[in-house]
Amino acid sequence: MRARGLRNLAFLRRRMGSPAASHAPLIRSHAAVLELQGTGGTNGFRQRLFVARFAGLIFIQAMELILMRRLSLALGLLAACAATGASAETVNLTGTYRCIQMCRNGMLGAPTFVTQNGQAVNLTTETGEAYQAWPDWNAPYSRIWIDARGEGAVYSPDGMRIQFDDGRVWQRDIGPPSPVVFRRAPVVYSR
């Protein structure tokens, strides 16, 4: 068996055409025993190697695709968080408002009051009822939610108008215009 393995190895060296290889001492390898006669020492190794490399390439490309998707998702989330933080300027709703549409008990033009303390918003309606509201989780920078009434309200970006889901509209009361004062120049009499 050993002699046949050495003969096969010598045959392979002569077949490869290397003159130095044909004169090199014969060293028995562990693969020489397992080789079949006439296979040239391959036993389909190149085919198996090709399949393994191809499968490895597909695996690596799939992993790169997953990595790129995760990276793009992370960058998108980071950009969204940065944009939200920059545009997260809240409106101060504190002030006196007047009910101008769909007022209760026909109290059109009645004063209403809004007091904002951080995220908590206290509302006093035209009929004197007091409610507490919070920023709506769905649109925290443009809506408030009144839990006790089970309704929400949208407010304008400048905080001048609040429109409730039931149709009521409150307009900020900026008061009457300041009176225009005309001042006359002092009269100077000369002698």
| 3-class SS of residue 45 | helix
Q: What is the pLDDT of residue 179?
A: 86
Compute how many other C-beta atoms are within 10 angstroms of the C-beta atom of residue 123: 24
Place of tokens 């939200």: 84
Banded model confidence at residue 22, pLDDT cuts 50, 70, 90: very low
β partners of residue 154? 143, 163
Least confident piece of the model among 16-20, 110-114, 135-139:
16-20
Q: What is the pLDDT of residues 159-171, one digit of tens each?
A: 999 999 999 999 9
pTM: 0.50
5: left (phi over 0), alpha (psi -120 to 50) or beta: alpha
Q: What is the pLDDT of residue 17?
A: 56
Compute how many other C-beta atoms are within 10 angstroms of the C-beta atom of residue 43: 13
Of the two residues 2 and 157, the one the predictor is more confident about is: 157
Q: 22: which 2 tokens?
A: 């044909």
Torsion 24-29-33-39 (CA) sign:
negative
Of the two residues 95 and 72, the one the predictor is more confident about is: 95
Of the two residues 112 and 17, the one the predictor is more confident about is: 112
Q: What is the mean pLDDT of residues 73-96?
A: 72
Burial class (CB in 10 A: 0-12, 13-18, 19+), 177: exposed
Q: What is the pLDDT of residues 24-45, one digit of tens each?
A: 454 555 555 555 555 555 566 6
Choose among 161, 162, 157, 120: nearest CA to 141.
157
Question: What is the percent of the chain with per-residue pLDDT over 70, rounded to a whole number?
Answer: 69
